Chain A
Amino acid sequence: MTEFALDTSLGLTIVILFGVLWVAFGYWLGRKNKTHEDFALAGRNVGFAFAAATAMATWVTSNTTLVAPQLTYQFGLWGMIGYSFAALGLLLFAPMAKRIKTLLPNGYTSGDFVRLRYGQAAWWVFIIISVVYAFGWLISLGMAGGILLESLSGLDYHIGMTAILIICVGYTLFGGLRAVIATDFIQALIIIVGVSLIAWWLVDNVGLQSIHSNLSQAHPQLLDVLFPAAVMFLFNNIFFGLGEIFHSNVWWSRALSFKQGVAYKAYLTGGLMWLPIPIITGFIALAAPQLGIFPPSADMIGPTVAAAVLGTTGAVIVFIVIFSALASSLDSLLAATSDLVTQDLFHKKLKPNASDRTLMRFNRYCILALGIVTWLFCLPRIATLGALLNFAGAFVASTIWPIVLGLYFRRLTGGYAALAMALGTAAGLAAYFLVGFYVAALTSCAVSGLLCGVGVWRSQEQFDWQRLQEER
């Protein structure tokens, strides 16, 4: 029999305890939501501490806790360092967040911006990209929950995945963005303290020197700074991270929900707090060969190694940290995607005269429906987490240039923006299937950037920023 770090019943008990705690907390916070704006944007009144914590905690996700070790295991040092560069997404979004808040003081979603700035054609391309990405991320998070519980406690993947989805859907349903941000704050504290403890424990028990010696002898490729696939992966990962943050309503809804003057500092602080976390979680994977741990799936490496080194107490900490990381992202994505569907599809296209109460009710149905659809997609374990996430990279990286240029330049037109996103995505997908996942986002961003450049060069249009001030 496989020896798991945690007893199955202990793993399940922790999940149930956390579940009850978070759902009750969400319910308590949800009582303050009187309007749809309260529910979707926490009343546009989030202060600096909560803002920085939610930026950091949301970005610490299955990427950082499970995929960073996976890519370190596969790509060595570059996997670990390259992953930490995803902090650049948060850091560079800081000035953009300030601009978003200035241009769209009454805006709700990133879709609002694309529709008003570029028109219907670009909006449709953008919505398709957003939906593909949102589901890719939601599914990867649901899968990560199942993998986490299976790796640490042997609990069946389907049970773990279902439990985590029920909990996150539960408290987001009751509390809206207010609950998401409040739980993110607590989860951020848990993540920082937990990750620091794990790092200290690992260095103390295994030692840097012994890990380096083993890798030098048995797996020198992992220490090679000229590892070809890893060198290719580096900028791909940066563009993937930028694309994720720049386009996603998760980050836009936060920028819009923060108090005036908070967004810039909050994203900058969140990015700096996030930077060392993938280095630590990735480092865990480098100890695997020395410990004789070769998991069936590379995305199980992080929790498996941590649990092997740290024993039961450590495994409980790993479990709580990763659970917090998953929950903090899953809830944010559920809230942001349901806002996008409610505002951009339901309110703008189907029911322009919908009352505040109707919007709030529809938003809740959306959260529930998203949870159910995600659960159905998670049932068959379709791919490794890394492969699944990087597939989405081909889509999101195509939005980087249209978003940046759209926020600061009047000349890029909707036609070019739509073409840049569509052809960028197509080129990224071609690269994904013909070369590998580690070039998809880079190709997508390059093609999209080229088309946007042509668009700015050829266009004579001067967009009027006042057109973004839409009446509600």
Chain B
Amino acid sequence: MVKLPGIAKSLLPVLTFCWVFLSAPTTLAQSLQLEGPSSTVREGYFTVSVVAQEQREEPLTNLVIDVSTQADFSHVEQTFPALGDFRKLSLTGFSDGVYYLRARAGNLAEPSNVIKVTVQHYPLWQALGLFFTGLIIFALLVVILLKSHRRVEKEAGND
């Protein structure tokens, strides 16, 4: 057995820990956590964010979000790349339906957890009801404003 000096002995566990920690492949130390909307989406757009649960800072490369209508991702409908090294994506234009999403990074072997997002737009009758309410109020406002303007102009002319 090699006899180590006292200081080296005390540093050995620390050095061993550092060696194990630093030399461990990133793929083992990191995992991705995807977070999305917790309630039903009524407008067809939502934001998802990726959290890398990592032991040390390692930038994620080529982060993408897969979207599928099947929970097992047997068919990926769309893949959305993240902008630069941002870990949040604002996604838009979804029709009614149930979507499954997961995140993948180029330097990680395993994809993230799968989240389920339900998109259900407002019923059309509700939207059109508000549309026509707005139209009636607006038409009333314009008519009152323009007629009143004409009236005061005429009054000013008579004066």
Contacts and interface: CB of A to CB of B under 8 A. Distances in A.
A binds B: yes
Interface of A: 1-4, 73-76, 92, 95-96, 98-99, 102, 215, 218-222, 226-229, 231-232, 234-236, 238-239, 242, 289, 292-298, 301, 304, 400-401, 404-405, 407-409, 436, 439, 442, 445-446, 449
A7 B86 CA distance: 18
B85 A1 contact: yes
Contact of B127 (A73, A215, A228): A228
Interface of A is mostly: helix
B29 interface: no
A75 B49 CA distance: 21
B19 interface: no
23 contacts: A1-B84, A74-B44, A74-B45, A99-B149, A229-B42, A229-B121, A229-B127, A231-B131, A235-B130, A235-B131, A235-B133, A238-B138, A239-B134, A293-B83, A296-B83, A296-B90, A298-B45, A298-B90, A401-B141, A404-B141, A405-B144, A407-B148, A408-B145
A2 B145 CA distance: 52
A445 B86 contact: no
A99 B153 CA distance: 9
Count class of interface residues, chain B: 35 or more
B82 interface: yes
Interface string B54-74: 000001000001000000000
A408 B149 contact: yes
Interface of B: 42-45, 47, 49, 59, 65, 78, 80-95, 121-124, 126-128, 130-131, 133-135, 137-138, 140-142, 144-146, 148-149, 151-152, 156
A404 B82 CA distance: 48
Contacts, number: 149
B122 A235 contact: no
Given A95-B145, A221-B44, A294-B82, A449 B137 contact: yes
Nearest to A304: B83
A74 B140 CA distance: 30
Given A236-B134, A439-B130, A446-B133, 8 more contacts: A75-B43, A231-B131, A232-B130, A235-B134, A235-B135, A289-B92, A298-B47, A449-B137
